[in-house]
Amino acid sequence: MERLWTPWRYEYVTGQVEVDGCLFCWAVANGEEGDKDRLVLHRAKHNFVIINKYPYNNGHLMVAPYAHVDDLAGSASEQLAEMILLAKTCEGILRGAYNPQGFNIGMNLGAVAGAGVKDHAHLHVVPRWTGDVSFLTTTSDTRVVPELPEQTYERLRPEFATLEP
């Protein structure tokens, strides 16, 4: 029997993930000094790019506004425009770093829509490959992701470091 070890997911699956307040607001609250520990790859004017700590696939990024808004209606036009341009940038960087065959790019607004963080809108950028969903996802609600989020950070940070804020 083969064993699949994912110890970094333990705190998530047991409900032990605790953040004081909003996850996205917390991630950028301490300024750039905490970016590596909180997996923030890039800070732009209205939004930031962060690695999903519990990714659907390798390279799963999120673009979130600094403003604590829960929908598009409450978002400023400048923030929305920058968000989609950052998604475009993420797509390009991920293509170079991972060579995916496709992408899922989208938002889940509200708990009933599947939002894990329902009070702070954010855009997912998820690289996809043929066969990246194995039988484990279907039969055991388990996903195999071979790269730790910290490794993803080390791989992608040099590319994001070249961008203008």
Residues labelled catalytic: 122
Three-class SS of the chain: CCCCCCHHHHHHHCCCCCCCCCHHHHHHHCCHHHCCCCCEEEECCCEEEEECCCCCCCCCEEEEECCCCCCCCCCCHHHHHHHHHHHHHHHHHHHHHHCCCEEEEECCCCHHHCCCCCCCCCEEEEEECCCCCCHHHHHHCCCCCCCCHHHHHHHHHHHHHCCCC
Whether the CB-CB separation of 125 and 84 falls below 8 Å is answered with no
* Residue 54 backbone phi and psi in degrees, to 5: -125, 70
Q: How many other C-beta atoms are found inside a 10 Å radius of the C-beta of residue 78?
A: 11
